[in-house]
């Protein structure tokens, strides 16, 4: 069976990332991906590289990677996809902040890639689809976006007809859907060889259909050691015909209109039914999420309404806010199932720093921001010490496993039993 493969790869690191960790990811993942492409000229991938990662490359001495990416783009092996510079969670932000994040990304990518930067597609961070974001993206002139299968009809595995392409109703914007099952198997390191890959493809798609994979680039070598070798071997298969997403319409000209549902790459069908569209970033009843967003909106309003927007201190505050909108802080505060106090603190601290940078800020506003920061951190430590965070994480992991696989997998059961024992939850 011939496999028309469009592979979307997203690489990103938060603006708070350390040099040591970036160096590690560069060696374990990014350089290996580049080597795979250089060794096999037939490979084509759609690459989304966040502007803040380009800044980190330049800051920490990895300009060679930028040159390698440029060379691969010149050879027509990489097709760029744009995004928001600091990986902000766009659906929950005011429209002016969404536009600013997109404009900043364009400026940064043009700076590093020059005339090679001419993206047709746009990657909404976390694949967080909303009508508001899609309309803004269309206004910038992008031609297509990528979404999770759940955005099609709210189903985990939607049985889309991948002999057709899709367009958003009452819009010129095309929307492509990633194959969730195979993409997730790769994300979780459950494809260990080409036989695994072919078996899953044969189960998932019909002859004549195209396959869109969409994953983080960091899974290849860094998060999943050895998966980069599997990727290289997949592209050596005679059945695989690589293609850019933008070229799919040429092979599959029949187009259907759709009205996508709010969704992310991690959306669960049960949550969509309850209209919980963005669970990992704003879960109803999660007090940490509520305080994080209260702080976020307070800082946005404070900086937007500051009287002197020409001052040096406002420009510094604005820069800190741009960076502080990155989505990771909310993700790690979710316990759905992700949890990490360091990332929660780093995001909240960045936002408070933005207010502190304003010399003439209302002292009551600054005090409110600091109080929210303290409450976020105190609550996070309380959840950690009491075991609440890990208990919630366990419950959510079990829920995901049952919904995705119909049962809790053996490896997960073992991990959960160990964690339960550690926390004396049995």
pLDDT digits (tens, 9 = 90+) for 250-303: 999 999 999 999 999 999 999 999 999 999 999 999 999 999 999 999 999 999
Per-residue confidence (pLDDT) for residue 157, from 0 to 100: 83
Confidence of residue 422 (pLDDT cuts 50, 70, 90): low
Give the other-Cβ count within 10 Å of 132's Cβ: 16
In a domain, 322, yes or no: yes
With DSSP H G I counted as helix, E B as strand and the rest as coil, what are the percentages for the chain, rounded to 5? Answer: 55, 10, 35
Same domain? 145 vs 33: yes
Q: What is the CATH number of the domain that holds 159?
A: 3.20.110.20
End-to-end Cα spacing for the chain? 49
**Mean pLDDT for all residues in the chain:** 95
Per-residue confidence (pLDDT) for residue 423, from 0 to 100: 65
> DSSP of 226-253, one letter per residue?
THHHHHHHHHH-TTEEE--GGGHHHH--
Confidence of residue 426 (pLDDT cuts 50, 70, 90): very low
In a domain, 278, yes or no: no
Alpha-carbon span 147 to 76, nearest angstrom? 24
Q: pLDDT > 70: what percent of the chain?
A: 97
Domain C-terminal end among 269, 300, 322: 269
Task: Give me the torsion for CA of 330, 315, 122, 158, rounded to 10°.
Answer: 20
In a domain, 274, yes or no: no
Per-residue confidence (pLDDT) for residue 404, from 0 to 100: 79
Per-residue confidence (pLDDT) for residue 424, from 0 to 100: 63
Task: Give yes or no for a contact between 90 and 128, defined as CB atoms under 8 angstroms apart.
Answer: yes
Helix (H) or strand (E) holding 145: strand 144-147
Same domain? 38 vs 61: yes
Same domain? 88 vs 184: yes
Same domain? 51 vs 182: yes
pLDDT tens string 65-83: 999 999 999 999 999 999 9
Task: Of 357, 355, 373, 375, give the one whose Cα is nearest residue 365.
Answer: 355
Domain around 395: 389-422
pLDDT tens string 314-366: 999 999 999 999 999 999 999 999 999 999 999 999 999 999 999 999 999 99
pLDDT tens string 23-79: 999 999 999 999 999 999 999 999 999 999 999 999 999 999 999 999 999 999 999
In a domain, 221, yes or no: yes
In a domain, 78, yes or no: yes
pLDDT at 90 over 90: yes
Length of the chain measured in residues: 426
Same domain? 60 vs 200: yes
Domain C-terminal end among 239, 269, 299: 269
Number of domains into which the chain is organized: 3
Same domain? 378 vs 404: no
Same domain? 366 vs 409: no
How far is residue 122 from each of residues 30, 326, 347, 390, measured CA to CA in Å? Answer: 21, 17, 25, 35
Exposure pattern of 344-361 as b/e (b: 16+ CB <10 Å)? Answer: bbbbbbbbbbbbbbbeeb
Per-residue confidence (pLDDT) for residue 291, from 0 to 100: 98
pLDDT at 408 over 80: no
- Cis before residue 337, ω within 30 degrees of 0? yes
């Amino acid at each position: 069976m011939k496999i028309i493969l469009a592979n979307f790869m997203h690489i990103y690191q938060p603006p708070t990332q350390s040099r040591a960790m970036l160096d590690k990811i560069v060696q374990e993942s990014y350089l290996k991906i580049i080597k795979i492409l250089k060794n096999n000229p037939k490979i084509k991938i759609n690459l989304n590289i966040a502007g803040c990662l380009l800044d980190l490359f330049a800051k920490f001495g990895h300009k060679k990677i930028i040159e390698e990416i440029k060379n691969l783009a010149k050879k027509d092996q990489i097709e760029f996809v744009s995004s928001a510079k600091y990986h902000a969670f766009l659906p929950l932000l005011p429209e002016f902040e969404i536009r600013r994040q997109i404009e900043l990304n364009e400026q940064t990518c043009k700076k590093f890639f020059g005339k090679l930067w001419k993206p047709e597609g746009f990657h909404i961070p976390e694949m967080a689809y909303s009508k508001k974001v899609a309309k803004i993206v269309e206004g910038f002139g992008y031609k297509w976006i990528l979404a999770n299968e759940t955005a099609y009809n709210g189903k985990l595995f939607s049985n889309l007809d991948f002999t057709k392409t899709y367009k958003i109703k009452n819009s010129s914007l095309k929307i492509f859907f990633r194959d969730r099952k195979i993409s997730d198997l790769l994300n979780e390191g459950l494809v260990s060889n080409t036989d695994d890959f072919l078996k899953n493809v044969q189960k998932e798609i019909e002859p004549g259909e195209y396959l869109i994979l969409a994953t983080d680039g960091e899974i290849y070598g860094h998060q999943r050691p050895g998966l980069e070798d599997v990727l290289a071997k997949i592209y050596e298969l005679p059945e695989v015909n690589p293609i850019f997403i933008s070229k799919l319409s040429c092979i599959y000209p029949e187009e259907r209109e759709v009205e996508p549902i709010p969704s992310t790459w991690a959306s669960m069908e049960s949550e969509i039914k309850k209209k919980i569209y963005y669970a990992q970033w704003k879960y109803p009843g999660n007090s940490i999420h509520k305080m994080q967003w209260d702080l976020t909106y307070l800082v946005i309003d404070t900086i937007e309404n500051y009287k002197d927007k020409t001052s040096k201190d406002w420009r510094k505050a604005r820069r800190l806010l741009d960076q502080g909108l990155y989505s990771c802080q909310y993700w790690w505060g979710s316990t759905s199932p992700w949890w990490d106090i360091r990332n929660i603190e780093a995001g909240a601290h960045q936002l408070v720093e933005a207010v502190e940078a304003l010399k003439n800020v209302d002292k009551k506003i600054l005090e409110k921001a600091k109080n929210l920061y303290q409450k976020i951190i105190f609550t996070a430590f309380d959840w950690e010490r009491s075991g609440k965070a890990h208990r919630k994480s366990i419950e959510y992991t079990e829920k995901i496993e049952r919904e995705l696989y119909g049962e809790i997998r053996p490896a997960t059961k073992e991990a959960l039993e160990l964690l339960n024992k550690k926390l004396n939850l049995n």
